[in-house]
Amino acid sequence: MPRKTYKTSETVDFVVVGSGASGGIMARELSRAGFSVVVMEQGPRMAPEDFEHDELKYRNLSGITNNPTTNPQTFRRDPSQKAERMNGRNPLTYARIVGGSSAHFNANFWRLHEIDFIEGSRLGPIAGASLVDWPITYAELEPYYTKVEWEVGVSGLAGASPFDPPRSKPYPMPPLPVKSSGVLFERGARKLGLHPYPAPMAINSVFYKGRPPCAQCGLCGGFGCEVMAKSSSVWTVIPEAEATGRCEIRAESYVFRIGMNRAGRATGVHYFDRARNEQFQKARAVVVCANGSETPKLLLNSGTNAEGLANSSGAVGRYLMFNKGGGAAARFEHPLNEYKGANVTRVLHDFYDSDPKRGFYGGGGFDARSGGPLTWGQSVPKGTPTWGPGFKEYLESYTYWMNCSGHGTSLAQETNRIDIDPELKDAWGVPAMRVTYKDHPDDKKHAAWLSERAVEIMDAAGAKQIVPAEDAEASGGVHLLGTCRMGNDPSTSVIDKYHRTHDVRNLFLCDGSSMVTSGRGQPTQTIEALAFRAADFIGKFARTGDI
Amino acid sequence: MDQPIPSRRHFLAAVGNLASAGWIALNWPQIAAAAGHAGHAAHDMHDMQDMTPPPTTFTTLSATEAAEVGAIANLIVPGGTTPGARDARVIYFIDNALGSFFAAQLPSFRQGLADFESAYATRHGADKPFSAAPEAEQVAWLQEVDKTAFFTAVRRLTVLGLIALPKYGGNYNNLGWNLLGVEDSHVWEPPFGYYDKDYAGFEPYPGTKPYTA
């Protein structure tokens, strides 16, 4: 069936900005509900055969991610400093292709736990942070977590973790086969009385919804999956949206401003097409799913003044969170061959809840994982020669290593934010984002604590050499969260519990920016559950003329 | 139009090389269909090499520059009983990189090389370059300069040239991957390594009841 296209002069029901984890779901749900939808994606559309096993290109040369040359950002620790470009990289990274970051994710799909939604009232306030409750509960989101697992496709073993939050259905697919890192991680953790379990992954372990099981090629994080086993939007919900005949995916279309009329309603989006000509797509409503950095950037660039659009709260771009973590690399006696197989096969959530006895706020989960050889070879542990025979011997040990990685909380802080750099523009002439970020002291303490636990687990697993992660201040990330937080109070939040902006009735936001707290490290399933839920409500609003 | 044919051939070859077929045998018709649908859904790394013959001439660096940088690279990852940077033709990667995706670094790289050579000449005389010195003298000199930005740049390029895809000029004949123990294939199946060979299966914890669809 030929793909549906719309003229820019046609007023479609919805423009969805972004085609990633949330945008793809939004497109499918709204088009299946009978609405006309145009999805705007900055990057190109890649076919399965376009993805390469090219670690240099994808990991070092921004092959499918925002490029620091054409999409530059600046960074500073503190609002008193002048933000500068970083050497050869951007602080905030996301995939810039159809499918967004769901195309290159590692595919760890962790649900949030019940506590994540109510930590503000249980553990707050915390000095220097804005730890508040979500306006929704885990129970409200649970059906949508289940929907993600069944509609998008997640493999795992329900009920295996004693810390698993309540669920209404098991996973639709069994877990992926365990690899050596998973076995060692499980061995060490069980010795310590912990509860590792098969990792829930958005990767097919069997044929599911017309897509094959994982070929175990070993390159998940940072790469697209050319066998389509990874449950990325580009292989799952986007084709289903297009199959309705009501959804157009418009690639290489960079939205730089939301159109507004004098009545304060969104009228569509201004964008650059692939020839960099300005265009305007008319729409009855706009849903921005552009990720936790591009969504606030778009709003801040869409106002008639410095405040930006939908920002009466002043919260647009603020409360930026990553997922602070700590861990350890470990070398074992025999080869693990971690370059083979899906990146993660075992996780544990024993340390998920924050425990006041630790003396700081923070919780996290662990996984056993690995990196590609090119990424691994570029750094050496302290004390290892950086060149010469000793370095060569280290290179020869590649297959004997694994990582025990802790993923945890980042506290929301008002001063951690994305705003618009006063000078820098990108290759399209669009004002670029400026990032201001400093770890909360509790985040740093928690990360160091996680590294200590990782060392214990690897030691119990029998590692011959353990290299704890160095304590370093966060200077960027790929989990881009909290920058247009949801809440009931329009003076402190950007969107309501239905993802509608408090200020503009027909403007909705749904992606990592909606999150109120950071969770423990793997936000994508939550972003997708939020998208399914938001789409339900947005569709209802549209049917009743309430947009 | 011809693209899917060799790619499909590669996929079939990759699958055929597996000693025990496991789930692949079980699911073969669907996987083959999916691979065909995906064009060259499971192209392996050989595709890159098939298309791009390894370079044999320098296009960015002069022969003199290449000799100097190549000598440094070969001390960063020395040859010997197993191949090193020279055997993996890392210098061709460096030449390619500085002429294309790292071209912005070329002026500072050249300046760094000039500084490296002039400092070496000041110490050891200008009659012969670093690359012509005895190895012990080269190693001793690198130990003095291995904190410089230039050396760091050569080191990074050497590692990238050793491990990046052969299509970029280095990692000749997969020698870099061989050094690391990385086999060149696209499709794997368990056991992947030593420790998952005899995994007995996941044992549920007391009080839990794992369940499946």
CATH number at residue A516: 3.50.50.60
Nearest to A189 by CA among A461, A408, A407, A446: A461
Whether B145 contacts chain A with CB within 8 A = no
Residue B14 has pLDDT above 50, yes or no: no
Structural domain count, chain A: 1
pLDDT of residue B38: 35
Positive or negative, the CA dihedral A233, A374, A342, A410 is negative
Closest residue of chain B to A164, computed from CA coordinates: B208
Residue B2 has pLDDT above 80, yes or no: no
Residue B16 has pLDDT above 50, yes or no: no
B9: pLDDT confidence band, cut at 50, 70 and 90? very low
The tally of CA atoms less than 13 A away on the side-chain side of residue B154 is: 29
pLDDT in tens, B126-175: 889 999 999 999 999 999 999 999 999 999 999 999 999 999 999 999 99
Asked if A54's CB is within 8 angstroms of B195's CB, the reply is no
Instruction: Spell out the residues 6+ positions from residue B16 whose beta carbon is closer than 8 angstroms to its own.
Output: none
The tens-digit pLDDT sequence of chain A (547 residues) is: 689 999 999 999 999 999 999 999 999 999 999 999 999 999 999 999 999 999 999 999 999 999 999 999 999 999 999 999 998 899 999 999 999 999 999 999 999 999 999 999 999 999 999 999 999 999 999 999 999 999 999 999 999 999 999 999 999 999 999 999 999 999 999 999 999 999 999 999 999 999 999 999 999 999 999 999 999 999 999 999 999 999 999 999 999 999 999 999 999 999 999 999 999 999 999 999 999 999 999 999 999 888 999 999 999 999 999 999 999 999 999 999 999 999 999 999 999 999 999 999 999 999 999 889 999 999 999 999 999 999 999 999 999 999 999 999 999 999 999 999 999 999 999 999 999 999 999 999 999 999 999 999 999 999 999 999 998 999 999 999 999 999 999 999 999 999 999 999 999 999 999 999 999 999 999 999 999 999 999 999 999 999 9
Spell out the domain ranges in chain B. Answer: 4-44, 63-180
Give pTM, 2 decimals: 0.93
Nearest to A530 by CA among A520, A516, A542, A544: A516
Residue B23 has pLDDT above 70, yes or no: no
Which chain B positions have a beta carbon within 8 Å of A373's beta carbon?
163, 177, 180, 182
Residue B10 has pLDDT above 80, yes or no: no
Mutate which of A151, A348, A370, A374 to test chain B, going by most B C-beta atoms within 10 A? Answer: A374
Q: Is residue A280 part of a domain?
A: yes
Mutate which of B105, B145, B195, B197 to test chain A, going by most A C-beta atoms within 10 A? Answer: B195
Return the bridge partners of A475, or none.
none
Nearest to A335 by CA among A405, A404, A397: A397
| Helix residue ranges per DSSP H, chain B | 4-16, 22-26, 28-37, 46-51, 63-76, 90-99, 106-124, 135-145, 149-163, 175-180
Tell me how far apart the alpha carbons of residues A40 and A16 are, in angstroms, rounded to a whole number: 6
Average pLDDT over residues B60-81: 97
Written as six digits, the tokens of A126 are 């915390």
Closest-CA distance, A50 to chain B, in angstroms, reads 9
Q: Is residue A207 part of a domain?
A: no
Q: Is residue A343 part of a domain?
A: no
Which chain B positions have a beta carbon within 8 Å of A336's beta carbon?
192-195
Closest-CA distance, A275 to chain B, in angstroms, reads 23
Closest residue of chain B to A159, computed from CA coordinates: B210
Return the bridge partners of A436, or none.
A76, A417
Q: Is residue A240 part of a domain?
A: yes
pLDDT of residue B46: 42
Percentage of chain B modeled with pLDDT above 70? 76
Tell me how far apart the alpha carbons of residues B181 and A399 are, in angstroms, rounded to a whole number: 6
Positive or negative, the CA dihedral A343, A349, A352, A357 is negative
User: Which of A160, A175, A374 lies closest to B204 in CB terms?
Assistant: A160
Question: Domain of A254?
Answer: 8-64+95-105+110-153+232-321+413-429+478-547
Determine phi and psi for A162, rounding to 5 degrees: -60, -15
Q: Are A314 and A308 in contact (CB under 8 A)?
A: no
